Amino acid sequence: MNEISPKDRAALHLPEPTQRQGISDADDLPEAFRALNRIQAAAASRLTGGLSPVGLSLAVMDWWMHLLMAPGKQMQLAQKAVRKTARLGLHAATMASGADPLPSIEPLPGDNRFRAEAWQQPPFSLWAQAFLLNQQWWHQATHDVPGVAPHHEEIVSFTTRQVLDVFSPSNSPFTNPEVIARTIETGGQNFVQGLRNWLEDSRRTLMKQPPVGSEAFRVGRDVATTPGKVVFRNHLIELIQYAPATDTVRAEPVLIVPAWIMKYYILDLSPQNSLIRHLVGTGHTVFCISWRNPLAEDRDLSMDDYRRMGVMAALDAVTDIVPGARVHATGYCLGGTLLAIAAAAMGGAGDQRLASVTLFAAQTDFSEPGELALFIDHSQMRVMEGMMWDQGYLAADQMAGAFQLLRSNDLIWSRLVKDYMTGQRTPMTDLMAWNADTTRMPYRMHSEYLQRLYLDNELAAGRFMVDGRPAALQNIRVPLFVVGTERDHVAPWRSVYKIHYLADTEVTFVLTSGGHNAGIVSEPGNPRRHYRAARQRREDHVIGSEDWLAAAATRPGSWWPEWTSWLDAGSGPDRVAPPALGSARHPPIMDAPGSYVLQR
């Protein structure tokens, strides 16, 4: 069993171990060995981009050996290869005869590479059909192989898909009709401009500068502009209180706990799509945490530090500024998971300061965390911990690679085609500029988060300890409002839905269109938005996610008004005069958006 280091022992307030007699200095060797392992892992991570080659090798070997021992699966794949070849041959013959052939296969939902009209013409349609049929065959080859561990199956399937995408006809200037047409139109100048774009992007990456166009979305000037004051600051957070926009407000304030993996102003982008401005405009007193961007010296900040110095410190300040009022607490992504832990601990301790809890795209059960789990297993943890131990934090660019691979068609290949082959810049948006405004993760906190939640699933199992007691989600007795998004690669909605199986209170669940970020930034008036919503009372029987999906009708528009109406219903009947900005104990420090959000 690994010994606790003196630094960790002091941080956890544990007594020093009793010194045994007759033991030589060799007792120091286990820690030295661990340090040697970390040094090796840190060196390996620099060569592999933070990915574990051992984990990938084990997955490939598991799949390959079991496929060799599955003659039935081999025969099925051979049969499918023959049938797909015949379908492609029929498509080619029909096309050669001058007729308009029906496609042999359609792209998967969300795959827009071959949607343009030019891809329906020969020979481009033949190339696209061949690629899609090949992609489908490899999907079948990497799934349902008897004996393969599910995690290894997903790793092999994901890796195969990434390799296939490299050879997609859409990614070659010689087989992409849109690039060819652009080349003819510009006389080849598109490649000259594409080279300029690539050189500019490379320079900015090397200089750690934001991408082209992000200067149009400056924090405090163009985004994060809702008026307010920083009313509390400690080493980890600044707490912003927003100025009222109505003559009267609901008595119960709203406290927002964003994720520290992102800058808080995802919820306060441009004025027209700012959730915080929307809340203030509908008569709510709003507070929001802005997290410090940690440095190497913050390496030993723990998850409990984030709970105590973040959620609980902010809640103490809010209840001092708005005395006597219960608080509508709201958490987003990791911030939602931390809020659920804090609310469960408060419930177990009899702390009744919360009026409700809202969770945006936040998981509480990590047994099925989606594709992000491809990058989180014991082998990957060793490499990642070595990398974080070496520098004291997980850097933004080390996280970005995993997120980009999850949506490689949208975030990598489409950009390669548009920016570097057609020479046309992808227009910058406020959401894209925010996404490029990156943060870091402290070594100890992130290690605990991945180990205790992703790998060990302690929260759902009732084993996550806070102040010596389990943070049992059943102790949350206030109403829950939970939002999942349809195309979430980080917190899949079916995983978010599992709060129904863990909570012992009323749950209103909303499933909205969009992904992890765009689904939450869902401003009213956008004609492409829709959502579903249903309430489960405490006495109702719990139903599965698929039954819920079948029963909940689709509603057009944004889910924001649904949430504000729910907050209103859970607040007192009388509106009151807005509270002052700050209090005697928490006077205003500076204007919003504060200083922590500007840290690089």
The encoded tokens of residue 440 equal 């870091």
Q: What is the pLDDT of residue 135?
A: 95
Please give the share of the chain, as a percent, with pLDDT higher than 90: 74
Q: What is the pLDDT of residue 15?
A: 41
Catalytic, 333? Answer yes
Q: What is the DSSP pairing of strand 237-242 with strand 228-233? A: antiparallel
pLDDT-based confidence at 62, cuts 50/70/90? very high
* Distances from the Cα of 310 to the Cα of 301, 436, 568, angstroms: 11, 24, 26
CB atoms within 10 A of CB 330: 29
What's the one-letter identity of residue 408?
A: S
pLDDT value of position 403: 66
Tell me whether residue 417 is exposed, middle or buried, using C-beta atoms within 10 angstroms of its C-beta: 0 to 12, 13 to 18, 19 or more. Answer: buried
pLDDT band of residue 9 (cuts 50, 70, 90) is very low
Model confidence pLDDT, tens digit, residues 459-517: 999 999 999 999 999 999 999 999 999 999 889 999 999 999 999 999 999 999 999 99
Identify the CA nearest to 482 among candidates 532, 527, 440. Answer: 532
- Kindly tell me if the per-residue pLDDT of 14 is higher than 60: no
* Domain spans in the chain, listed from the N-terminal domain onward: 228-367+457-598
The half-sphere exposure of 284 on its side-chain side, counting CA atoms within 13 A, is 28
Q: What sign results for the dihedral spanned by CA atoms 356, 357, 358, 364? A: negative
Alpha-carbon span 542 to 137, nearest angstrom = 38
Q: What are the tens digits of pLDDT across the range 140-168?
A: 999 999 999 998 999 999 999 989 999 99
Write down the pLDDT at residue 45.
Answer: 61
The rounded mean pLDDT for the chain is: 90
Residue 532 burial (CB count, 10 A): 19
Mean pLDDT of 400-414: 71
- Per-residue pLDDT at 412: 81
- Residue 525 neighbours by CB under 8 Å, 6+ apart: 558
Q: For residue range 193-213, what is the model confidence (pLDDT) as tens digits?
A: 999 999 999 999 888 888 999
For 100-109, 305-314, 412-421, 497-506, which range has the lowest pLDDT when averaged over its residues?
100-109
**Beta strand pairing status for 507-512 and 480-485?**
parallel
pLDDT band of 20, cuts 50, 70, 90: very low
519-557, pLDDT tens digit by residue? Answer: 999 999 988 999 999 999 999 999 999 999 999 999 999
pTM of the model: 0.88
Alpha helices in 437-544 (DSSP H): 443-448, 458-461, 493-496, 499-502
Predicted local distance difference test score (pLDDT) of residue 385? 77
Res. 402: pLDDT tops 80: no
Distance of alpha carbon 394 from alpha carbon 295, whole angstroms: 10
pLDDT score at 34 = 67
pLDDT surpasses 90 at 292? yes
Q: What is the pLDDT of residue 468?
A: 92
Tally of CB atoms within 10 A around 513: 20
- The single residue of 155, 333, 384, 581 carrying the catalytic annotation is 333
Q: Are 407 and 110 in contact (CB under 8 A)?
A: no
Q: What is the CATH number of domain 228-367+457-598?
A: 3.40.50.1820
Lowest mean pLDDT among 97-106, 293-302, 499-508, 588-597: 97-106
| Top mean-pLDDT range of 3-12, 39-48, 489-498 | 489-498
Does position 370 have pLDDT exceeding 90, yes or no?
no
The answer on pLDDT for 44 being more than 80 is no
Residue 44: how many other CB atoms lie within 10 Å? 18
Mean pLDDT of 261-271: 95
For residue 49, the model assigns a pLDDT of 60
Cα–chain-centroid distance for residue 202?
25
Q: Which amino acid is at 341?
A: I
Please report the pLDDT score of residue 109 as a whole number. Answer: 81
Section 214-223 average pLDDT: 95
Question: What DSSP element (H or E) covers 182?
Answer: helix 177-186
Instruction: Give the C-alpha separation, 422 to 18, whole Å.
Output: 69
Percent of residues, the chain, with pLDDT higher than 70: 90
242-271 mean pLDDT = 96
The string of pLDDT tens digits covering residues 560-577 is 999 999 999 999 999 999
